[in-house]
Structure 1
Amino acid sequence: LTYQGFREPLRLAVEVTSTNWEDDYVDKLDEYKGLGISEYWIVDYLAIASRSYLGRSKVPTVFVYQLINGEYQSQAFRGKDRIISPTFPELELTVEQVVTASQPRIR
């Protein structure tokens, strides 16, 4: 990835996991850290990552990574948890809202 059009690093990057979830949890995490992106979200709405990331109860999870002293510190949010964004502290979204918004609506 190149972001040559930007004068400063992006403040927030959001990835939604797919079958190649390891790209989001490993490769992109390292890449975004190198680019100096201060906040990175991984939205694992299908809970497809391994248990080493999600824990025993594989449930939809939003991970928020904050770049502190050149390293990402993560926090996991699930269910009715309000997602805490250091970049956008006024944000009022829960994991449940994000996950249900991604599901197709039946009419």
Structure 2
Amino acid sequence: MIQAIPQLMTLEEFLDWYPDGYGRYELWNGVVLEMQPTGTHEQVGGTLAGELFVEIRRLQLPYLIPRQAIVKPVDTDKSGYNPDVIVLDLPALENEPLWKKRSTITKGESVRVVIEVVSTNWRDDYGHKFIDYEALGIPEYWVVDYLGLGGKRYIGTPKQPTFSIYQLIDGEYQVQQFRGGERIVSPAFPELNLTANQVFAMGI
């Protein structure tokens, strides 16, 4: 669920305003949106983050999963996304001008994986965010549609729960989709032992 806050802001003003320690917000073309995810939505995102954290620790990867981070799309100062889960490349953060003071990402190479868990605003995940994450050069984008809400052109017919991994190849996202008992295959986490059904079960 999303609730708009009636004020127009630049990204800098949004970051100054952002209330520290509570609430979850995004900026869309100057409009502040308060994100109000359901409990099951949070279960899916939180458990996925936990699974990836275990992989990071087990393999001693130089990655970080922050509690929150804002992703700034290219060519705009009026938008900033707050992904459900984001995996960052620790060494690359040294080159991020807004990270230390603003926890904001401006470069695609700073991100290993960005994850959006689909809810009723599925058009944003498959549309606007897809375009902006691709343009930013984020190498992997996961769309976790655990309720099968997305349009048929994205998840097929009949609609069913679908786990989509978009991999950046020659500057464009190419998708691989997983359903049922299929093991999720991720270039960033090649040893991840998790099936689509195991992820979808987190939302029950």
TM-score by length of 1: 0.89
Q: Point out where structure 2 has 5 or more consecutive residues left out of the alignment.
A: 1-70, 73-95, 100-104
* Residue 89 of structure 1: how far off its partner (Å): 0.3
Matched, 1:96 2:197: yes
Equivalent residue in structure 2 for 1:72, among 157, 173, 196: 173
Equivalent residue in structure 2 for 1:59, among 160, 168, 174: 160
Question: For 2:198, what is the secondary structure of its paired residue?
Answer: helix
Partner of 1:21: 122
Identity of aligned residues (%): 50
Q: Which amino acid aligns with 1:56?
A: T
Equivalent-residue separation in structure 1 for 2:196 and 2:158 (angstroms): 15
Sort the Cα spacing of 1:95 and 1:60 in 2 relative to 1 into closer, same or farther, 3 A. same
Contact 1:9–1:35 under 8 Å retained in 2 = no
Equivalent residue in structure 2 for 1:40, among 127, 135, 141: 141
Equivalent-residue separation in structure 2 for 1:19 and 1:71 (angstroms): 26
Partner of 2:3: none
Higher relative contact order (CA 8 A, sep 6+): 1
* Residue 77 of structure 1: how far off its partner (Å): 0.5
* Residue 36 of structure 1: how far off its partner (Å): 1.4
* Residue 31 of structure 1: how far off its partner (Å): 0.9
* Residue 22 of structure 1: how far off its partner (Å): 0.6
Q: Which amino acid aligns with 1:77?
A: F
Equivalent-residue separation in structure 2 for 1:49 and 1:74 (angstroms): 15
Segment drifting more, 82-91 vs 4-13: 4-13
Q: Which amino acid aligns with 1:80?
A: G
Equivalent-residue separation in structure 1 for 2:129 and 2:152 (angstroms): 19
Equivalent-residue separation in structure 2 for 1:18 and 1:67 (angstroms): 24
CA deviation profile, 1:4-26 (whole Å, cap 9, x unmatched): 31574301001001111010001
Equivalent-residue separation in structure 2 for 1:68 and 1:9 (angstroms): 17
Q: Which amino acid aligns with 1:19?
A: T
Sort the Cα spacing of 1:34 and 1:9 in 2 relative to 1 into closer, same or farther, 3 A. farther
- Equivalent pairs counted in the alignment come to 103
**Structure with the higher fraction of residues in helix conformation:** 2
RMSD, aligned CA = 1.5
* Residue 51 of structure 1: how far off its partner (Å): 1.1
Question: For 2:163, what is the secondary structure of its paired residue?
Answer: strand
* Residue 96 of structure 1: how far off its partner (Å): 0.4
